[in-house]
Amino acid sequence: MKIFFSPKTQNHSPKTFISRGHVIESPERAERADILRTAAKNAGHTITEIFSEHHHSALDIHDEAYISFLKNGWQQWSILDGSSKEIIPNVHPGRNMNANPSAIVSAAGYYQADTACPIGEKTWEGAKASADTVIAAASYLLDRHKNNEHENFVYSLCRPPGHHAYADQAGGFCFLNNCAIAANFFLKQGLTKIAILDVDVHHGNGTQGIFYERSDVLTVSLHGDPSEYYPFFAGYEEEVGLANGKNFNINFPLSRGTADIEYMRVLQKALRKIKDFKPQILIIALGLDASEEDPLAFLALTTKGFLELGKVIASAKLPTIIVQEGGYISPILGDNLTATLKGFENNR
Ligand SMILES: [Zn+2]
């Protein structure tokens, strides 16, 4: 499979993560991409490295002031007396507060939903490179789709991931929403119906939020039950979209420990909903953290399960861009990626 990757994404490699009150090393580190890239290469896939920057308007899915915070916030933070090397918020606007002052400490709390998205000196470069990667992959796919090429699928090795990022808020290791940027790219190029299927173990809350009132992008997510798992405050079955977007958002929360057989049953159900929508392009938000061995484990997919997942997704026979989301370091992280890609290719 054709793979796009930007070495510049490695400019972002967060150091800290707070888990159950402990400050630990962030699981979303640059090494993840090295593992995924090496595994893909060893399995015979072709990797195209992206070096140039895109200034595509697809990025306008994000709020201008938020982009400015991502670009310039670290500079302001770094001149604060005694500030750390990464912006980590220690105060957030509560449910009963409405002001939004410009001080950098409050901006951090306003634009960063949690402590899992530290911003370092080069975070913007890394996040932008991740978005550049998805635009390059989307552009490649669109050309192939227009030319009716048989091989109408591509994998975008993105990191940092994107699906927890809202139009104006970072969260859960994510800054720019790569899948939303891809969908926006296709729409700007004249397509009218896009589906995003999120199989990351965490609910794709940012993606849901961005398209919640729209009917041109169907958002479907399979994920660990948010009543006991991140992102907690979104991802429930009754969240079906609003206004024009009503019935264009579908959530499938899954119980802790859900394994291959039950997972595939629900995935088939999700695929049927997507086929009924008749999208021109399918975007897969591929988290590999549904793995039984993921350090953040909640579900229990095996490597064979990922092979099956690839097969099921391919069975939709839609032009498909697979976008890397989560999936953290375990002995089988690379195998889970290559199994997914193999399952997909074998069924096309
Ligand atoms: Zn995840």
Ligand 1 centroid, distance to 101 Cα (angstroms): 31
Ligand 1 centroid, distance to 294 Cα (angstroms): 10
Ligand 1 centroid, distance to 276 Cα (angstroms): 27
Are 310 and 344 within 8 A, CB to CB? yes
- Hey, what are 166's tokens? 């809202």
Position 53 scores a pLDDT of 77
Ligand 1 centroid, distance to 139 Cα (angstroms): 25
Burial of 47 (0-12, 13-18, 19+ CB in 10 A): middle
Cα-only R_g, the chain = 19
Ligand 1 centroid, distance to 58 Cα (angstroms): 23
Ligand 1 centroid, distance to 11 Cα (angstroms): 21
- Hey, what are 62's tokens? 């994000």
- Hey, what are 238's tokens? 């009754």
Residues with CB under 5 A from ligand 1 (ion): 200, 202, 287, 289, 326
Position 54 scores a pLDDT of 73
Question: Residue 145 catalytic?
Answer: no
Position 55 scores a pLDDT of 77
Are 293 and 200 within 8 A, CB to CB? no
Exposure letters 48-75 (e unless 16+ CB within 10 A, then b): eebeeebebebbebbeeebbebbeebbe
> What letter would DSSP give residue 186?
H
Q: How far is CA 179 from the centre of its chain?
A: 6
Position 50 scores a pLDDT of 93
Ligand 1 centroid, distance to 190 Cα (angstroms): 31
Among the four given CATH numbers 1.10.3720.10, 3.40.800.20, 3.60.9.10, 3.30.365.10, the one describing domain 2-54+126-346? 3.40.800.20
Q: Which of 45, 62, 145, 164 is catalytic?
A: 164
Domain ranges of the chain: 2-54+126-346
Smallest CA-to-CA distance from 221 within 244, 239, 194, 233 is with 239
Ligand 1 centroid, distance to 173 Cα (angstroms): 9
Cα atoms in the 13 Å half-sphere on the side-chain side of 319: 23
Per-residue pLDDT of the chain (348 residues; tens, 9 = 90+): 999 999 999 999 999 999 999 999 999 999 999 999 999 999 999 999 998 777 788 899 999 999 999 999 999 999 999 999 999 999 999 999 999 999 999 999 999 999 999 999 999 999 999 999 999 999 999 999 999 999 999 999 999 999 999 999 999 999 999 999 999 999 999 999 999 999 999 999 999 999 999 999 999 999 999 999 999 999 999 999 999 999 999 999 999 999 999 999 999 999 999 999 999 999 999 999 999 999 999 999 999 999 999 999 999 999 999 999 999 999 999 999 999 999 999 999
Cα atoms in the 13 Å half-sphere on the side-chain side of 260: 11
